[in-house]
Chain A
Amino acid sequence: MVQHHQRSGKQSGKGPIGIAMLAGLFVFAAALAAWAGQPSLQSSETAAGGARTGFAVAADQAEGDQTGRDSANGSADGFDEFDEFDEFDGETGSKPVADPLSGYNRWMTGVNDKLYFWVLKPAATGYAKVTPAVARRSVGRFFKNLGYPLRFVNNLLQLKIRRAGVETARFVVNTTVGVAGFADPARWWMDLEAYPEDFGQTLGHYGVGGGWHLVLPVMGPSNLRDAVSKVPDRFLNPVAYVDPSEVSIAISAYDRINYTSLHLGEYERLKQDAVDWYIFLRNAYEQNRKKKIQE
């Protein structure tokens, strides 16, 4: 090795420079290759369980795995041949959700609607009047930080190790630097985003279908899988361990009112756009859950 080096040095004064140039070029080429390959690397990371777009996963699955798991909203997008409906139907069609409880579900959607307009909205509006938005947003971040155990455990259960790590980093940074989670420096300065996961998503990840659509009191649209999953989810919610349970419930209610105060008007606008409010909610819930499970 040393000999060789000396020899090339003797043979030509420019040898080492040439080697250095080559080395430099090699690094450059490697960097370029990395840059060129970046998008695909990113999307494969997505498929492996890394991304926030959802679509990337859907498309990867469509390419790789046409027999992918069944879902409430029709097959994930094979792109077909050209004929207008043939071409787009795979993407825009939707297989109806199993909904034998639709009578009850519609009724409960109506009950929840009244709850929103008669209880939740007045409470949130009053609260918003006396509490500045900055404070309410901090409270929202505080509750989000408390969701760490749930997100961490369910990321682990799905073997999304990197995300579980990101969640832990977020929790450590936000609980300390972010003062008990009232601030979110992990997102603001370190670009670390939360990866929401719950037990329903974990079950979905392993192929458990949603089952019948089910509208829960207060909590709104759900399905059998996700409704049952709320039980284990509760064990990972620190608020649930507050004693006595009245206080625990009050804290959860406060979380809900705080959240609503930051989203006033959104419910009304969505409802006004819908042709059939119940069907809109049912479909949106299932589409959104499907995306969350895929990513």
Chain B
Amino acid sequence: MAAGIGVSDLNTYATNTWCPGCGNFAIERAAKLAFVELVSEGEVKRENLVMLSGIGCHGKIADYIDLNSFYSIHGRVPGPATGIRLANRELVVVGFAGDGDAYGEGLDHLIFAAKRNVNMTMIIHDNRVYGLTTGQFTPTSPKGFEGKSTPRGAPEGPINPIQLMLSVGATFVARAYSGRLDHMKDVFKRAIMHKGFALVDALQPCFTFFDTYSYYNSRVYDLQDEKHDHADWNAASAKSREWDYGGEESGRIPIGIFYQAERPTYEDAVVAGKNLLDSSPPGLQDLLREHM
């Protein structure tokens, strides 16, 4: 399937049930454009693309894109994604997850996938609110967020996933924004082509429960426009602290690639030339003799 494909080739018959105005539409569009371009440019074979999703509004993306997909469970995308890479290193693995999903329920898995440098991409639909469960605070909601479980305001402040991922050894750390579609598509493509663990924190408003469009529109800027050196971990770390996922009091929000580095991948080291898809078994006679 080296021939080019169009975005419509990736459509499915599933009815889209995201709310009108949802930031997920832009993420889906950017992902499809990225996939189409990578296939058409001959970088990836369509049959080798594998998407995963967790549970939440974002998870439906697995139904909406006609590619191999593993629609998994809440917080658990990195485990199956790692297993897929161990089994077959030809596969190009792109995990989609929500902020509650990846930064809350399954944070341990995300940290370990980054620490190991599994060659995979995690795209976090970070709307900073639980949408599908109708509006509770998440790990990236600002302190004081008034949600259904915290009507008097969230008592805890947000974590900064960019800073976290830098500190645990992710080799590609980026932020994108659903209001900047072309930029998002480019970041996705570079994340997918990165050889190693890539995290893209994709900011998206939740039109129904946390509408942040105007907030983001007035604050985002492209790191690459300001000559940020993404090979410099210290510069990346400093930039990661420019915005702390707070509320109105916060300053500018950098988007783009914070950091990119090369490091051997986990699965290359662990699999070490074995073919996990060939199930033919070895004989045991020599080993059994040693047990006598």
> Do the two shown chains form a genuine complex with each other?
no
Binding site for A on B (CB under 8 A): none
Binding site for B on A (CB under 8 A): none
